[in-house]
A and B are shown apart, each in its own frame.
Chain A
């Protein structure tokens, strides 16, 4: 079985204006949404107490919310996992111990059994947030340094821009649809950074090889050729990874669902950005044969 019977000649570089426009629009929408609506931060970042409660019969979340408000939890965040399982998050109260808070909460949720209780102090939430932002920045810089060393600075900068693009879009979608953003989603965002880079590097590797092998051709033609040559691999790998992540989304349960969702979005966007954004940018930055030939190293053919 093959995706393409003959060699493909899709003019990716000619489509780059449309791709640029598309990227610009969703990027702007993401930023605006993040600025206006912000992120629906989960317990990890807000701090507070969260209980997961399971009921014998299907419950009505609106009814539960009313009960909670009546019991004095005006700002309780109720989230339904399915018909019988919900989570309730409340902010910490001064002078009330966790045990008292738990008892008060369970009183407001008659018929429910406690499945899980989480408490995170406010200072921890703040520290996790700072650490998370730090992690994204460190990951970006570290991978950029690696590409600059292995390939060339122009590649590193283009890859980094394509990379920033991916997490911003994931955050944008999480903000736009008011999906809960917690620590494990952050881990997914970081994984996407690594994953998207995978695709980009495969293309860049091919570009380097083609500059050496194909004597003629502009940078744009070489880029098109390289993307086309790696296209079936890109589709295959992204498709397979998407398959396992979808399995995780459907069967992994409520804890892993937001994580799987972030990865699903990330894989699609990452594949797109490594084809359209990373490649086009390197060309736009004036990539040329000479940049790569001097840094090329002979690769041992004898390796396994």
Chain B
């Protein structure tokens, strides 16, 4: 006895530890690309783009004011205030770093000089030669006297030798300008400003992110800024906090809603509290065990995976219903009851789990994760229900035989109920098929918006930011990756040549290539050997400046650049600039770490040629991507993929049924029922204005895996009892009702999920399961009788 108690205590302790450790490992992945097939080119390219050019620790605060001056002063006030929050904030950037420190640009100018063509370097050498230097300064002086361009006056007064004059195109072309607006700090009208805020410490998990963001919002929103000034919060931390907490809420709320519906159904059927209480406790245990197991097996939970809780509860409770129903009529030992239930549950839970595990055949990782988690949850559910609920059910089963019949069992057994149900089911089918006939198939929506949160303040702020800073949503991002700098360089050259050709042919309107900002070690070496000796001539160059009316400060840039080039003579190449200004300029253009080199450009296609252009760039490591193109590519590939899996799954089911039923008529009825269910589902979706998307396409697979159980069970019962329709209804009516309603509640609770893809999957599955349950329960037996009579008369 003591040993048993000790074993029980140890098992309990192990269970608690398992749950605690497993749950502590759970983290959320808010990247919607993690929900999509990784082998799709657009997904690959966009993943590379987001992985390398997004900033997980950078909060973007947008500031909108009715007046440019007010926007500027408010931005300065806010930036100053945030810099004082040293317990929360490490850094605040509210204007291009070089505006406060123009000298810091010299490093980047050096980098550009080293990578310019040999011809330009030769021209610079000549300009700085003893013969030409005075002439160059005289020309500069004349331009300073007569120029009407403020930029030219500013540039020439600090670069009289024109060291950086050949780089103007690179600056304005490749970087899109150096002003606040072009650098992503303010809109053209000056009324909209952007601040980039870095937290004091990197975030360890989404809870830290959410807490930090909450504190930042409180601080910012309580700051007394002028009236009319509006703040917005976006960027990675805002998305992580918003989506993660949304996912957590989705998981908890849909799970609780499902439990509530299950409780109501159970109470309505049996009117008993104690077994219901036990069932609810065990369902929560199943949920915790499943989630803990997910913590051990999966890296991160995606928005779709988070929807597993309600689905799994809705399916696992079926075993509880079954066990409780059996326990009410069972008079043998507990072991007999468990064995009896195991024989039935093993079959149904296995087929359900297999159907969900089959979602792993889909290339949608989000869906695969949902399938894995529900499949796992269903197996855990079956074990927990047989192991723990069966003893409780037997203990709490009513002692009197009289009360052993459920309130609903007798209703399901009456002819009147069957007749009304058949008429109602027929009317429903006619309505839905009529809807399908008149309104057609539901429309498809494979736009990326269907994967995003239903309502997102961060997304709204980001959309507004993009619209104010004039990014063109039709633009394609050029992502070029490689294992070495040289590999990327080669690919950039190929891409540039191709883009120039496309531009000539009218496919491309314009493009910004990162080629001019990508280092070429060979060219750098040549330019260093050409320009480094000029550092020895700096005294002469300074003297020439003085002689031609310039102060020594006019030569600062020339001196800094030439000395830096000289210092690079014995350094490993290629040279990457690394000061704050250089990093800020390059952060949206290039990434360089060992084994991971990426360059980013922008291509503006001629309208109507977007797809053609995106498809044309298929060489290794070169991607031309956009969210719009991603939607289009998935729209082309996903339906056929789902169709292939569905056909495979249906074939498998038919084969199993052919072996199990060994009845052509039953097989025909099963096929017709399944077809009718999908036809009615399509009609219902059309009537309700629902659309096919990435995730509710998977409803087809889930309905094939779970919904078909109802018709299979009924066909098996009809075959077993020699075609006794009332008998089959009496035996299975309540079970199908309970299973269909609880599973529909589980899926239906996702209809309000924050993620639109998950919500659409929940709505479609709930609808399909209800239709399946109704058709299986009321029309399938009638069709069976009809076919039997027809074949007998024949």
Q: Is the A/B pair a real complex?
A: no
* B interface residues, Cβ below 8 angstroms from A: none
